[in-house]
Structure formats: structure tokens, C-alpha cells
Structure 1
Amino acid sequence: MAETSGLQTPLWRAIAVYRIAALVYVAVLVVRNVGAYERPIFAWPVLALTAAWTVFTTYAYAVPARRRPPLLVADLLVTMGVMASSAFIVGPQALTAGTPTLAVSWHVAPVIAWAVAGGRRWGIIAALAMGATDLAVRARYDQAAFTGTVLMLLAALAVGYLVGIAEVSQQRLERAIQLEAATRERERLARDIHDSVLQVLALVKRKGAHLDGEAGELARLAGEQEAALRTLVTGRVEPVDEHADVDLMMLLDPYASTTVSVAAPAGAVRMPSRAANEIAAAVAAALDNVTRHCDPGTKVWVLVEDEPESVTVSVRDEGCGIAPERLVEAESQGRLGVAQSIKGRIGDLAGTVRITSAPGQGTEVELTVPRASLG
């Protein structure tokens, strides 16, 4: 279980306080009942061990890095040992008469520690181990004997449930902080871009709209880039949670323009946010290659196919095409647009990339990601 130290810290402090209070209670009972023990002389060393272990665990659990299985297992075994010693020190006769064990109430502390460190499952394991030791020491199995074990199980369930809620709350708080920071940064960038780049592109579009030739083409491209950039800076911010489901088309639709057509299924293409962003980034890289290597105004089609087994996105253009040896040459020269931005991203999703092209016949980049890998 992930360590949510910020919200768990009060729980570990509460365990330390409980352990100290339980130690005081154990000491009072030993002083009061030592005369009824079969071997009272051994009660004092065990009480000293209990006090020393209480001091040790109080300081050990105070450091988050130490809250690991070795310490938790040692805590459970030491406590079980103290309880098991009751059979020898207190004696079966006194225990049957109702005399408490040497670990009475103190033995609940490691159960709670296991529940805080590992949730309900760990807490239940510790409660069952401690309960079995308690029943074995008492050597009787009436209703009163089982009550302690049931109470420990209930405590493990309650604390484990509380820890689960704390973990979810911590994750939601972190996502909210990240989303707020991303939103503020987006708004700041939007203001800066609006005051500079968008105004320049709008001016170029307006001044060159009536011109012919290359000047008119430049004005048209400026208009397209202005529309795409305006959509980008004013678009919806996707959730930071990489496991939250999003619609892939929300990320691909902004790429549509006068030269780029985006075709989508009738319904939403739902998938985890991380996978959707990786696919969208790969599509952006493919479109960028068209802009860089093809003539202005080259038509591009983005086709999305949502099938039960996989999601396929095809980026097809009617540009100049790519010779097969050019891809190998570009990768060897360190120009990794296709190798990393496209193949690398899709490969991380356990998907495949198929590039079909020939000089003068355009290029088709087909990205296929199996749904089984999207989790």
C-alpha cells in the first residue's frame, strides 16, 4: 500500500500513545496480580522487556522509512512472545480463573500498526495471529475467550478502512493541486499568447486575405494556425489522473482544420487519460511531419476506429511520400521524430505502428493499441 505519510502521521502517533497507556495498564495489573502467578519472579523481566519494546517501537515507527515488514513482523512476534510467556509465568490455573495475560490490551498495538501500514488485509492477518496466540495461552474456548479476538478483528477492519479513505483523500488532494496549477499555468500562457502570437497571426491573415500567390497562401496558413492555437489555449484541461477515463476525440478534434479532416466513430472513444494523451501526441507528431516535409495545403485525414479488441488511429496524407530508406537514415542521424515521438509512445502502450508510403503517393501512419494493454 502506498505510504500516505501526511495523513497517516496522526495514526502512528495515536498508536504510540495507546501503546504507552497500555503499558501502564499492564504494569498496574502485574503489580496487583503477581501474587497469584505460578512463577512471579519471571514477571518482572517480561515487564521490563515490554517497557523497552514500547520505547523502541515508539521511536522506530516515528520514522516513515522504518515502517516496513521487518519491523512490523518483529513487533508482532515480540508481542506474541510476551503473551505466550503468560502460560509459563501466570500459569494455566490462574488464567482459567480469569487472571489477565501479561500482554493484556498491550497486544492490540501491533494489530493496529499492521492495519495502518498495510490496510485491512494486513490488519486481519495480525489480528488472527494474535487472537490464535491468546486462545492457545488461555487454553479455553468459551464466549469470553473469543471476544478479544473478535474485537481485534473489528479494530483491524475499522482502522484499515480509515487508512484506505486517507489514501484516496491524499490522492484526490494531490490531483486537485496539480489540476489547479495546470489550469493557472494554462491561463497565464493563454494571456501571453493572446497578447502576442494570436494577434500577429490574425494581422497576417487580415492583411494578406486579398492577396494572391505565396502571400495569400501565407495568410491562409496564418489563419489556420491562429484557429488551431486558439483552440489549444482555450480548450478543456484533461484530468491529471492518468487512470481516469477520457474521450480520445476530445484530444484529436482540435487538430481539425481546413487541411486536416478528423473522422470519428459515432460514440465516445473512452480510454485511460495517459493512453489517450500518448496517442494524441503520436498523432501530433505525424501531422507535424506532414507540415515539415509536404507542400503547404496538403490534405490530411485522421481516421479513428474503436473496436472491442483495439483502438486504431490512421493518419493519411496525399503528400510527397517517404522512401523506406529515409526512415532508417533519419533514425541513424538522431532525427527521432518517428522513432520516439510515434513508435516509442505507441510501443509503451504495447501497440504497433505501421507506416505505408512511397514517393509521390502520400503516407499512411497506422497506430494500433490493444485495449487489453490500456488497463
Structure 2
Amino acid sequence: MGVGAALWRSVAVYRFLALLYAGVLIAWNQDKYERPYASWIVLTGMVVWTLYAALAYGGGRRQRWPLLAADLAVAVAAVLATAWVETPFGIAQGRPTIPVAWVVAALLAWAVSGGRALGLIAAAAIGAADLVVHLLNRSTPGPVTFGNIVLLFLTGLVVGHVVRMAVDAEVRLARAVEMEASTRERERLARDIHDSVLQVLAMVQRRGAEAGGEAAELGRLAGEQEAALRSLITGAPVPRPRPRIDAAPPGVPNAPAGAAAGEADLRTRLTALASPRVSVATPATPVLLPERVADELTAAVEAALSNVRRHAGEHARAWVLLEDDGTDEVIVSVRDDGPGIPPGRLERAEADGRLGVAQSIRGRVRDLGGTVAIHSVPGEGTELELTVRRPRRV
């Protein structure tokens, strides 16, 4: 908007200065006109339109076609009025039209609004009006007339090109400023995280390795999260180790028939999450998805089950249902018998920076192009329905 506002202000200033120049020439050439009084009528119309255009165009707003068309029509009419005001001899000699350079303001408005294409269209319309004046006078246009028309086309072409370059440069500058602000914010967060979270994770990893036993496993997990967090704040690829399933559950083959390279059976991923308090139901046939999609859906289900343990208690039960009816959609439902989610709880959690549902579940599924529906009634448990579209095989 900064460049646009400056350009429209420049057009308005040019319009007033060109009006002053036209008024001086009209007063100077009064004794040469065939109808001197008519020149003052034309000048009055130019003054009125200049004042109106200064208000109508404003600064930096997107201009509508009616205003641009009216501006060009007034400019063309002012040029054609030369045949009414000037003498046939003056027209034949190639004397300036009544509005002289004032009509270029309309050309500039078109060029600023639409670039080179509109600038050339406006130049063609004004140039054609100049030729019509000679045709009405039955005189042959001279070199001066053709030179003015060439200047009109050059003005429309150059101004339109410069305007497009200025607008593109402003857009690129805005993107650069945004990227710089994002980089500075990342650096600030990196400093804060390094001074707090990363040091705690490093300490847990070190103390866990020293303690051994279950603490060693906890330390190993802390080390993985520390590496992932460091990669995230530095912009490097985030290592996301996914537990590999070496042996599929009974009845589920390790390599489903028909699986292409890079595909995984979502049943295998989800069935591995079963436990005494988590029941998993899947179709009898493989549910093949790209490995990344299967990993992300599994991670979203893990996050949902983690929320069940955290908010509904260790003794709460959960049911995972995988539905695949052969259509383009795959649906995974996670239901629990916990206390449910109070109204407004998710919104408050997101506002407080707790993004388990917002990012770990909704964010993952949204990045896959899917949707998440949450159904919860206080005292009656919660059900999450994760829906993703199955990518078409090429």
C-alpha cells in the first residue's frame, strides 16, 4: 500500500500541474482560437474533473473500472473539443490540443492501475482522439501529431512497467521483512529454550544414563527429544524416530500383498498401540497408505491416547477403530470412557500454550489435508474422528 499510495498521489499532483499549464496556454492563445469562449468551457470541465478525480482516486485503493473508464472518456472528450475550439489552420499546423498534457493523467491512472497493458490501451484511445480531430478538420496529421502519439505509447509502456516493478519490489521487501522478523523470533526462542528446556533435557539424559534401569530409558527418550528440539529451533530437518514394528500382530502379515514402495499398512501401526486398556479394531484387509501418512496418523492417535491417560486417568479405557470402506477416505476414531471435555477447555488450553490437541492432533491431520471432529459430553467420554483422504496411486 505504501508504493500504491505514493503513485496515486503523484498522479494527482501531475494532474493539477498539467491543469495549470493548460490554463496558461488557453489564456495565451485566446486570440488564435475560432471560439475563445469554448476554450473556457473546456477548461472549466477540466477543473471540475481534476477536483473530483483527486477525491475519487484517493491513495492506494484499488480503482474500479467505472472510474477509470470515466477518466479516460473525459480525457478523450477534452482532446476532441479541440475541433470545436481551434481554427482549421491551427489544427492543420499541428498546434497543441486544448488540454495539452493534462490528458496524460488519465493514461497514468490506467498504467498505475493495470501496468503496461492498460497503459497502452489508454495511449491508443487518446492517440486515436488526436487523429480524429484532424479527420474532422479534413487535414493530414503532421510529424508533431505522430510524435505526440509515440510519446503517449512510450509513457504508457514505461510507466506501466515501472509500476509493476515497484509493486513486485514492495511485495518482495515485505516478504523479506517478514522472514527477518521470523528469524529474529526463532533466535529469541532458541535462546530461551537453550537456557531452560534443552538444559533440563540434557540433565535428564545424563542422570538417567548414570542411574540405569528404567531411568536410563527415560534418559534416552529425553535425549531424543533434545535432539529433535535443537533441530526445530535451528531449522534443520527434525529427526523423528518412529518405533519400528518388527513383528506384526497375529493374523496381520509384515508385508501386505500389493504394498508399493514407500507404503505402510496402517493396521500394523495402530494394532501395536493395543494394551490391556486400549482396544484396537481394524479391517481384515490391509489399509495401505504412504508411510508418512501412516506415521502421522499413528502419531496423532498416540497423542490422543496420551491425553486419555493424562486427563482421564491410568484406569480409563480407550477404543481405537480404523474404518476403510474402499473409498477415498480413511477414518480413525479414538473413544474413551473418561469424564469428557468441559466446554471451552480446548480453547483455553490453546490460549495458554498447551497445544496437544491443536498441534499434535489437529495440526498433523490438517497437514495431511484431513479433518478432525471432536465429540465430547461431560461425564460421557470423548470421541475423536480423524479423517484423511487416501492419495491416489500414480
Matched, 1:96 2:107: no
Q: Which residue of 2 aligns with 1:292?
A: 303
Q: Match for 2:239: what amino acid?
A: Y
Segment of structure 1 superposing worse, 21-30 or 158-167: 21-30
Q: Per-residue displacement from partner, 1:220-253 (whole Å, max 9, x unpaired)?
A: 11111111111111225xxxxxxxxxxxxxxxx4
Q: Match for 1:31: what amino acid?
A: A
Which secondary structure does the structure 2 equivalent of 1:14 belong to?
helix
Which secondary structure does the structure 2 equivalent of 1:65 belong to?
coil
1:327 to 328, 332, 335: 332
The whole-number CA distance in structure 1 between the counterparts of 2:393 and 2:169 is 32
Number of aligned positions between the proteins: 296
Matched, 1:73 2:57: no
Q: Which residue of 2 aligns with 1:83?
A: 79
The whole-number CA distance in structure 1 between the counterparts of 2:369 and 2:129 is 52
Unaligned stretches of 5+ residues in structure 1: 237-252, 266-278, 296-320, 349-364
Segment of structure 1 superposing worse, 64-73 or 23-32: 64-73
Q: Per-residue displacement from partner, 1:31-71 (whole Å, max 9, x unpaired)?
A: 23333333332221111111222222233333333733322
The whole-number CA distance in structure 2 between the counterparts of 1:100 and 1:370 is 69
Which secondary structure does the structure 2 equivalent of 1:105 belong to?
helix
Residues 115, 160 of structure 1: 8 Å contact kept: yes
Unaligned stretches of 5+ residues in structure 2: 246-260, 263-289, 307-318, 324-330, 336-340, 347-356, 371-387
Distance change in 2, residues 1:347/1:370 (3 Å): farther
The whole-number CA distance in structure 1 between the counterparts of 2:208 and 2:361 is 38
Q: Match for 2:322: what amino acid?
A: P
Q: Which residue of 1 aligns with 2:44?
A: 48
Q: CA deviation at 1:98?
A: 2.7
The whole-number CA distance in structure 2 between the counterparts of 1:336 and 1:198 is 23
Which secondary structure does the structure 2 equivalent of 1:324 belong to?
strand
Q: CA deviation at 1:215?
A: 2.5
Q: CA deviation at 1:256?
A: 3.8
Q: Which residue of 1 aligns with 2:5?
A: 9
Which secondary structure does the structure 1 equivalent of 2:96 belong to?
coil
The whole-number CA distance in structure 2 between the counterparts of 1:85 and 1:366 is 66
Which secondary structure does the structure 2 equivalent of 1:323 belong to?
strand
Distance change in 2, residues 1:72/1:366 (3 Å): closer
What is the TM-score normalised by the length of structure 1? 0.67
Q: Which residue of 2 aligns with 1:255?
A: 239
Q: Which residue of 2 aligns with 1:26?
A: 22
What are the residue-to-residue correspondences of 1:1-375 with 2, within 5 Å?
A: 5-65=1-61, 67-139=63-135, 140-236=140-236, 253-257=237-241, 259=243, 285-286=296-297, 288-289=299-300, 291-292=302-303, 323-325=321-323, 327-328=332-333, 340-342=362-364, 344-347=366-369, 368=391
Distance change in 2, residues 1:323/1:282 (3 Å): closer
The whole-number CA distance in structure 1 between the counterparts of 2:365 and 2:304 is 19
Residues 119, 159 of structure 1: 8 Å contact kept: yes
The alignment yields a C-alpha RMSD, in angstroms, of: 3.9
Share of identical aligned residues, percent? Answer: 42
The whole-number CA distance in structure 1 between the counterparts of 2:54 and 2:41 is 20
Greater radius of gyration (CA): 2
Distance change in 2, residues 1:178/1:284 (3 Å): farther
